Amino acid sequence: MNPEELLYAKTHEWVRIEDQDGGKLAVVGLSAFALEALTDLVYIELPEVDRQVAAGESFGEIESVKAVSDLYAPVTGDIVDVNTELPDRIESLGDDPYDSGWIIKIRITDESGLGELMDHTAYQKQCEEEGD
Amino acid sequence: MTATLAQTPLHEWHTAHGGRMVDFAGWSMPVQYSSIVAEHQATRTAATLFDVSHMGRLRFDGPDAAKFLDGLLTRRIDNSKPGQIRYSLITNDAGGILDDVLVYHMQDAGRESYYWMVVNASNREKIVRWLTPRLADGGDVEFADLTEITAMIALQGPKAMAMAGAVLDWDPTGLKYYTGRESEVALHEGLVSRTGYTGEDGLELILPGAAAADVWGRLHESGATAAGLGCRDTLRLEAAMPLYGHELSEEINPIQAGLKFAVNTNDRDFIGRDAIKRLSADASLPVRIGLELDSKRAPREGYPILAGDRPTGKITSGTHSPTLGRPIAMGYVASEHATVGTELNVDIRGRCEAARVVKMPFYRRP
């Protein structure tokens, strides 16, 4: 997946919106920038399928040697799928963050927050500012 | 960045080589270049270079220097021999730890003794403020804070001694552990000691600031990889070395920190002595322990330690140990829960994980 075609949350999750059964599905992962900043990943805590999440709510956590970070839902909806392969190969998540590195899929139940997400250009600007 | 950070003489090298710079005690320091784990493993299996120039380097000259320092240090220093280096604490009147330091007894060309004291970066100003007013009654002592005109490089790992050949014209394996000497380092004046903060064999070099980049470059070319403060922390934690601000503070006395070896209370006086003697008999104080966990989640500073479901203390440092492949931590618990083998729990963000008290250090070099 081309990172330039994705949307991003301020908290560094990427989102790919897909049409599904007349509704919208959000595929969610963590950006290369965030994974690069974390490095040395040791653990990821994933949510249960069917859990409801609100945009901005923590749905899991990712732990590196140095620190733990929350993972935040970028959209509001029901978690319909979880990438259960990730915990066993967490150290390689940074190798392919935008395809095999997807973390959860959320069936969007409220589209009102989608406008808060950034396009790639705006997200890059945020990363540059954080990098300073 | 909001505040101006101090820079070591190696700052330009760090930024040019991908060092991820962070604010550490007011200094711009590299936390890592590649990855913490890779740099950690390189230290355990080969040799790495650390810029530790942010540490405070204080020098004491004059016939009364030893006596002056002896009045401030928990460990006797006035009977040390030239070349000896001692780990010691500086305590306040209440026996609380102001800093943990290394004191180097050195001898100059005229065979006059002088002393270096290497203090934590975060405590340098406090220690200078602590000792300066006491100099007036200290007799013939000259004190200078040379931190900003010198640099300090740590070369650590099983291949460190061999790689030191790139800058030394003598074999440093002749230097005993915790000793040091004045020496030329790649033709610069310097001080070489067999010390470190990683649990590995190695050297630390104190150099004029202007010589740092040359010496660092030579060692790097000879195969030592650069390592940042990130793995310095995981390395010292595996070696169960306390870190000021975590395991040590003004609220902790040396005995409960497990540092009795660095306290000599007999036949001498120093600030905090009476309090330490009194507190050393107090079994109600929490003591430092090491914990190992089987969980994948690591305990972090501040997490509650429980005996069953009752709080008994707090984590002071914790990480996922790259060498052991599991979480390790240090913390303080009630003395009745401090015995090796005791099963405890750590509240990791709301979920209890089983932990057991283990012997420290967690890692001992082969």
pLDDT tens for each residue of B291-313: 999 999 999 999 999 999 999 99
Find residues 330-359 of chain B whose CB sits inside 8 Å of chain A: 349
Q: Which of A61, A65, A68 comes nearest B234 by C-beta?
A: A65
B251-298 pLDDT per residue, tens: 999 999 999 999 999 999 999 999 999 999 999 999 999 999 999 999
The fraction of chain A above a pLDDT of 70, given in percent, is: 99
CA–CA dist B121, B115 (Å, integer): 18
Task: Collapse the DSSP code of B160 into the 3-class scheme (helix H, G, I; strand E, B; otherwise coil) and give the result.
Answer: helix
> What pLDDT was estimated at residue B2?
55
> For A4-22, what is the mean pLDDT?
95
Q: What is the DSSP string of B201-257?
A: -EEEEEEEGGGHHHHHHHHHHTTPEE--HHHHHHHHHHTT---BTTTB-TTS-TTTT
pLDDT band with cut points at 50, 70 and 90 for residue A132 = low
Domains contained in chain B, CATH given: 11-52+148-238 (3.30.1360.120), 286-358 (2.40.30.110)
Q: What is the pLDDT of residue A130?
A: 85
From A39, A43, A64, residue closest to B296, measured CB to CB: A43
pLDDT level of residue B37 (50, 70, 90 thresholds): very high
Provide the chain B residues 233-272 that lie in CB contact (below 8 A) with chain A. Answer: 234
pTM: 0.94
Residue A71 CA to residue A59 CA, distance in Å, equals: 6
User: pLDDT tens for residues B146-190?
Assistant: 999 999 999 999 999 999 999 999 999 999 999 999 999 999 999
Binned at pLDDT 50, 70 and 90, residue B23 comes out as very high
Find chain B residues with C-beta within 8 A of A129's C-beta: none
State the residue for tokens 């040359």: B214
| Torsion sign (Cα): A126, A130, B4, B9 | negative
Question: Among A111, A68, A102, A97, which Cα is nearest to A82's?
Answer: A102
Dist. CA B26–CA B19, nearest whole Å: 17
Q: Do the beta carbons of residue B66 and residue B86 sit within 8 Å?
A: no
Tell me the chain B residues in contact with residue A94 when contact means C-beta distances shorter than 8 Å: none
Give pLDDT tens digits for A48-72: 999 999 999 999 999 999 899 999 9
| pLDDT over 80 (residue B67) | yes
Query: How far, rounded to the nearest angstrom, does the alpha carbon of residue B257 sit from its chain's CA centroid?
Result: 14
Q: Does A65 touch chain B (CB under 8 A)?
A: yes
Residue A110 has pLDDT above 90, yes or no: yes
By C-alpha distance, the chain A residue nearest B37 is A40
The DSSP 8-state label assigned to residue B146 in this structure reads: -
For residue B179, give the 3-state DSSP assignment.
strand
> What is the phi/psi pair of residue B103, to 5°?
-115, 120
Cβ of B320 within 8 Å of Cβ of A39? The answer is: no
- For residue A70, give how far its alpha carbon lies from the nearest alpha carbon of chain B (Å): 11
Q: Please compute the mean of the pLDDT values over residues B222-231 and round it to a whole number.
A: 98
Query: What average pLDDT does range B60-74 have in this prediction?
Result: 97
Residue of B151, B195, B154, B152 whose CA lies nearest to B48: B154
In CATH, A3-112 is 2.40.50.100: yes
pLDDT 10s digits, A70-98: 999 999 999 999 999 999 999 899 999 99
CA dihedral A106, A111, A116, A121 (to 10 degrees): 70
ipTM > 0.90 for the complex: no
The C-alpha of B101 sits at a distance from chain A's nearest C-alpha, in angstroms, of 25
Q: What confidence tier does B86 reach under pLDDT thresholds 50, 70, 90?
A: very high
| Chain B CB within 8 Å of residue A95 CB | no
Q: What tokens does B82 get?
A: 């030239």
Q: What mean pLDDT is predicted for residues B73-85?
A: 96
pLDDT in tens, B89-132: 999 999 999 999 999 999 988 899 999 999 999 999 999 999 99
Q: What are the domain boundaries of chain A? A: 3-112
In angstroms, what separates the C-alpha of B299 from chain A's closest C-alpha?
A: 10
- B237 closest CA partner among B155, B299, B305: B299
Pair of tokens at residue A103 = 């973390």
Residue A63 with chain B: CB contacts under 8 Å: 296-298, 320
Q: Could you tell me if A63 lies within 8 Å of chain B, comparing CB atoms?
A: yes
Q: Tell me whether B32 touches chain A (CB under 8 Å).
A: yes
Residues of A in contact with B296 (CB under 8 A): 42-43, 63
Task: Look up residue B164 and give its two tokens.
Answer: 């030191």
Decide: B234 and A65 in contact? Cβ < 8 Å: yes
Contacts of residue A36 in chain B, CB cutoff 8 Å?
A: none
